[in-house]
Amino acid sequence: MKNNSLALIAWTILILFPLGDRDLGAEQPNIIVIMADDLGYGDLSCYGATELETPNIDKLAQEGLRFTQGYCSASTCTPTRFSFLTGKYAFRQAGAGIAPPNATALIKPGTETIASILKKAGYQTAVIGKWHLGLGQGNGPDWNGIIKPGPLEIGFDYSYLLPTTNDRVPSVYVENHRVKNLDPNDPLWVGKKRPSADHPTGKDPEVRKNLKMDWSHGHNMTVHNGIGRIGFFTGGMKARWRDEDLADEWVKQSVKWIEKNKDNPFFLFFSSHDIHVPRMPHERFQGKTKLGFRGDAIAQLDWSVGEIRKAVDRLGLAKNTLIVFCSDNGPVLDDGYKDAAITKLGKHRPAGKYRGGKYSIYEGGTRTPFIVNWPGKVSPGESSAMVCTIDMATSFAKMLGQAIPDNAFPDSLDVHGALLGKPNSQGRDHLLQQPNKGPTLALRVGDWKVLSYANAKPKKHLTFEKGPGKYELYHLATDPQEKTNLATSNPAKLKELLSQLEKIKADGRTRNF
Ligand code: NG6
Ligand code: CA
């Protein structure tokens, strides 16, 4: 009898509170991931920059947790974003390097993503800003029709996109499945070849003379808004944006979307184009710093962060909103335009004390600003836990008690304790770092790091800071600047790390490394 009533109580509890995917005790904070573009470890005043000020991001850091060993998983955009969304290292995925203007959707419908798992956990989900993960299928996006698959097919409820990059055509917004403001009588064409002999390009001396910003390499095909671009496009005149207005637009659309979704848990991927080239911030930011347009674009990014926080505060959501600030790859100065990033650099060190930057597998390529802020939940301070943008998918799912399908997020580790600054929590003990594409890879295990250039056929401008030889080995704790290559003097360590690297490559997942 006693046993029966106990069983009855147990069943009643189970019916009322099913032990399903959701841990009912878990809170469901709104999650906003702000990902900057090409922002280096040393580019913010809260990370030691002295030549410019980033008050809003500094405040986010002061009131939150600032990581000194926060990483993105690659030193270019597409692979980092691919991994952030799918929890899978990009080198495992064919075609996950920098996506060209007409690239088709890299992440196939049905793939579990950070957005789809949060949707399952009851979140409304949106991506606003840079996409650069391809759209559509077959011969490329149907720019004049329904553009799919894209974010809406992999877990996002809403998308408002810069489809590729701000230096790649087409210079339009894609809202959900369509180019915004496209006049059907003025169709948009996007291609690799000059459409006609009289189509003006950035190479034509007469055109070049009058450019708003001159190019230094590449970026000399179609000219739009006085700036040469990668790729060609015609038409869609009413749909075209101005570079100067992009940041305002991301903020405006995000605030609108947050207002609309304030009553349910939401996940916003705020994907800023700042400070990617062409750095052409709004007129009100031009000249705001002494670092030229690169610094002014950082000021604009800082403003965007402030505006998002203001909206969250105004709507009374601050206490229930977890904000992560990160970057998609390390810094670069001349990435194809003459914007004075080098001549006005002065004492500023975009990668802080680290070696390398964008395109490189030295620390500067992937060790980037990483801040977690959740008032009342994440104690302010500094963390030296090793965390990576690739970990957010698993970590947020675990934080929410949401079950992860077995084949999902193979390289994404549960570091939610470290992200929230929980006592005795640990970050990663290892991390693979890649440039744009393999086979060049680096693996950090604890304080050791191996860089492998085996089989690499580096392209000219993508080999920024490649050292000599096939392998490099560094002890980061004593040599954070990766100056003393120990590959020859410590062959045992080299062998150990290389075999761990091979294991991660062969296993297809690192969850159980
Ligand atoms: C490179 C571009 C560079 C930038 C990069 C992608 C040239 C010469 N260089 O190929 O300007 O667009 O691709 O940057 O065209 S990323 O941050 O989106 O990965
Ligand atoms: Ca980038």
Residues 44-87: tens digit of each pLDDT: 999 999 999 999 999 999 999 999 999 999 999 999 999 999 99
Domain-located, residue 4: no
The answer to whether residue 209 scores a pLDDT higher than 80 is yes
- Position of tokens 């802020």? 373
Domain-located, residue 198: no
Task: Locate 51 and state its tokens.
Answer: 């030549």
Of all protein residues, the one whose alpha carbon is nearest to atom 16 of ligand 1 is 77
Per-residue pLDDT band for 437 (boundaries 50, 70, 90) equals: confident
User: Could you tell me if 347 and 481 lie in one domain?
Assistant: no
User: Could you tell me if 298 and 274 lie in one domain?
Assistant: yes
- Residue range(s) defining the domain that contains residue 460: 431-512
The answer to whether residue 357 scores a pLDDT higher than 80 is yes
Cα–chain center distance at 433: 14
User: Could you tell me if 395 and 471 lie in one domain?
Assistant: no
**Quick one: which atom of ligand 1 is closest to the CA of 230?**
15
Closest CA to 365 of 486, 453, 463: 463
Instruction: Give residue 356's pLDDT.
Output: 93
Neighbours of 385 (CB within 10 A): 19
Of all protein residues, the one whose alpha carbon is nearest to atom 8 of ligand 1 is 218
Asked which of 375, 397, 426 is the last residue of a domain, the reply is 426
What single-letter DSSP state applies at residue 222?
B
Q: Count of alpha carbons within 13 Å of 331, Cβ hemisphere only? A: 25
C-alpha span between 237 and 240 (Å, rounded)? 6
User: Could you tell me if 450 and 495 lie in one domain?
Assistant: yes
Domain-located, residue 507: yes
Asked which of 404, 426, 448 is the last residue of a domain, the reply is 426
Domain-located, residue 372: yes
Instruction: Give residue 511's pLDDT.
Output: 56
Asked if 139 and 171 touch (Cβ cutoff 8 Å), the reply is no
Per residue in 371-427, pLDDT (tens digit) is 999 999 999 999 999 999 999 999 999 999 999 999 999 999 999 999 999 999 999
Total domains in the chain come to 2
Of all protein residues, the one whose alpha carbon is nearest to atom 13 of ligand 1 is 98
Asked which of 400, 426, 452 is the last residue of a domain, the reply is 426
Per residue in 483-500, pLDDT (tens digit) is 999 999 999 999 999 999
What single-letter DSSP state applies at residue 442?
E
Phi-psi region of 231 (alpha: psi -120 to 50; beta: other; left: phi over 0): left
Instruction: Give residue 508's pLDDT.
Output: 85
User: Could you tell me if 282 and 335 lie in one domain?
Assistant: yes
Task: Locate 437 and state its tokens.
Answer: 């594409």
What single-letter DSSP state applies at residue 104?
P
Least confident of 269-283, 322-336, 451-465: 451-465
Task: Locate 204 and state its tokens.
Answer: 């034509």
User: Could you tell me if 273 and 331 lie in one domain?
Assistant: yes
The answer to whether residue 265 scores a pLDDT higher than 90 is yes
Domain-located, residue 210: no
User: Could you tell me if 395 and 340 lie in one domain?
Assistant: yes
Instruction: List, in order, residues 6 or more apart from 462 with CB less than 8 Å away.
Output: 359, 435, 436
User: Could you tell me if 125 and 146 lie in one domain?
Assistant: yes
Of all protein residues, the one whose alpha carbon is nearest to atom 7 of ligand 1 is 218
The neighbouring-strand residues paired with 125 are: 267
Closest CA to 74 of 103, 96, 102, 100: 96
Asked if 432 and 89 touch (Cβ cutoff 8 Å), the reply is yes
Q: What residues does ligand 1 touch, defined as CB less than 6 Å away?
A: 37-38, 76-77, 98, 132, 165, 167, 217-219, 230, 276-277, 329, 335-336, 461
User: pTM of this prediction?
Assistant: 0.94
User: Could you tell me if 488 and 372 lie in one domain?
Assistant: no
The neighbouring-strand residues paired with 222 are: 201
User: Could you tell me if 497 and 377 lie in one domain?
Assistant: no
**Quick one: which atom of ligand 1 is closest to the CA of 461?**
8
C-alpha span between 127 and 239 (Å, rounded)? 20
CATH number at residue 454: 3.30.1120.10
Neighbours of 193 (CB within 10 A): 9
Instruction: Give residue 462's pLDDT.
Output: 43
Domain-located, residue 253: yes
CATH number at residue 284: 3.40.720.10
User: Could you tell me if 374 and 460 lie in one domain?
Assistant: no
- Position of tokens 């335009």? 337
Domain-located, residue 303: yes
* Cis amide prior to 439 (ω within 30 degrees): yes
User: Could you tell me if 403 and 463 lie in one domain?
Assistant: no
- Position of tokens 């091979």? 502
